[in-house]
């Protein structure tokens, strides 16, 4: 493939593909980067295609806006010395632009089949009303009912229904269409950490992921990072808790009814989308169901609007 630049051409033994992209709580990238580094995986190559990506903002460093960064889509491999399945890693630095995700997933899966991959594993986050001090649950979402039996052997919960945003979920879905088994492991995170690294969830996901892969790594560094981050987010959790007790009953419901789409809203975002988001906020405020809030978060991310609505989104959880 012209868009695949290889550094090496190793012989891989029935490899599993472990893939990750940025997502809520940075769960996916934290878990997969940690596993790749601890196993000492070797750089294999990169996807050089840029047609699926476009800058959506600017990065400022030392008071200066930097030029746009090109997407970084890297492959790594790990050869198992125990003659178990080898591991093919894929780590993407950014998600593709809206409406090109599926095409990109298919391109990646074609490369995976070229290496003989028969199992795709991804990870993601599952926002909930949990306390940041609780032990996160791990949810498993396979793309075939037969995989449910295998997953019964592990300490995982199952998603009855819902959505998994981005390629961390879409890749597993697309894999089924190419007759490839796939599982997405979702680490539970508190809603308010959606835009904050929450390695505690990545740690729990990694405990299951390593068992599925049949590898063992030292979790100490990740455990230390999780403990450090928990201390850092404690003040934010206290602020949200105080805000919940101070908020007058019914205040948010009344405010929601008064919200209107501003006439000078971003012209790149259709007015119909703004109206849909307003309805989703009202539904989330009246129902309180975490799945509804997840869908709202996905819609905001889809249109690059989370920063604009961030304060209002966090208000949804101040009564937790």
* 261's tokens: 């789409």
Q: Cα separation of 188 and 211, whole Å? A: 19
Print pLDDT tens along the chain (320 aa). 558 899 988 889 999 999 999 989 999 999 999 999 999 999 999 998 888 888 777 888 888 999 988 889 999 999 988 767 899 999 999 888 888 999 999 999 999 999 999 999 999 999 988 888 889 999 999 999 999 988 988 989 988 777 888 899 999 999 999 999 999 999 999 988 888 899 999 999 999 999 999 999 999 999 999 999 999 988 888 877 665 555 454 444 433 333 334 434 454 788 878 888 988 888 888 776 666 777 787 788 778 887 788 878 877 765 44
CA nearest neighbour of 195 among 309, 310, 302: 310
CA dihedral 247, 250, 251, 255 (to 10 degrees): 150
CATH code for the part of the protein at 4-227? 3.40.50.10900
Q: Could you state, in order of their start, the residue ranges of all structural domains in the chain?
A: 4-227, 249-315
Report the pLDDT value the prediction gives residue 286, as an integer from 0 to 100: 79
Rounded to two decimals, what is the model's pTM? 0.75
118-144 confidence digits (pLDDT tens): 999 999 999 988 888 889 999 999 999
Q: Cα separation of 16 and 181, whole Å? A: 10
Segments of the chain assigned E as strands? 4-6, 16-20, 42-47, 60-61, 64-65, 73-78, 87-92, 119-128, 138-142, 157-158, 181-190
Q: How many CB atoms lie within 10 A of CB 140?
A: 22
**Average confidence score pLDDT of the chain:** 85
The DSSP result for 184-249, as a single string, is EEEEEEEGGGTTS--HHHHHHHHHHHHHHHT-----HHHHHHHHHHHHHHHHHHHHHHHHHHHSPT
Phi, psi of 246 (to 5 degrees): -90, -20
Q: How many CB atoms lie within 10 A of CB 109?
A: 21
């Amino acid at each position: 493939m012209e868009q695949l630049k290889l550094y090496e051409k190793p012989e891989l033994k029935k490899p599993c593909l472990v893939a990750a992209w940025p997502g809520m709580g940075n769960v996916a990238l934290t878990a997969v980067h940690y596993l790749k580094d601890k196993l000492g995986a070797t750089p294999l190559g990169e996807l050089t295609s840029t047609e699926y990506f476009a800058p959506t903002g600017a990065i400022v460093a030392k008071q200066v806006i930097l030029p746009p960064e090109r997407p970084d889509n890297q492959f790594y491999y790990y050869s198992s010395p125990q003659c178990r399945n080898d591991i093919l890693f894929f780590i993407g630095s950014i998600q593709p632009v809206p409406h090109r995700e599926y095409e990109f997933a298919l391109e990646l899966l074609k490369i995976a089949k070229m290496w003989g991959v028969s199992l795709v594993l991804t990870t993601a986050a599952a926002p909930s009303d949990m306390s940041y001090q609780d032990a996160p649950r791990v949810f498993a979402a396979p793309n075939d009912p037969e995989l449910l039996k295998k997953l019964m052997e592990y300490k995982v919960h199952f998603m009855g229904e819902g959505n998994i945003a981005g390629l961390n979920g879409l890749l597993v879905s697309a894999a089924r269409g190419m007759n490839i088994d796939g599982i997405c492991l979702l680490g539970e995170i508190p809603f308010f950490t959606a835009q904050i690294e929450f390695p505690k969830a990545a740690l729990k996901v990694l405990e299951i992921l390593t068992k599925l892969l049949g590898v063992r790594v030292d979790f100490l560094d990740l455990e230390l990072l999780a403990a450090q981050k928990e201390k850092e987010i404690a003040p934010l959790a206290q602020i949200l808790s105080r805000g919940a007790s101070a908020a007058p009953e019914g205040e948010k419901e009344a405010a929601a009814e008064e919200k209107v789409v501003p006439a000078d809203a971003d012209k790149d975002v259709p007015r119909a989308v703004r109206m849909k988001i307003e309805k989703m906020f009202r539904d989330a405020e009246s129902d309180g169901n975490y799945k509804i809030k997840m869908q709202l978060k996905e819609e905001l991310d889809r249109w690059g609007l989370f920063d604009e609505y961030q304060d209002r989104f966090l208000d949804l959880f101040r009564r937790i």
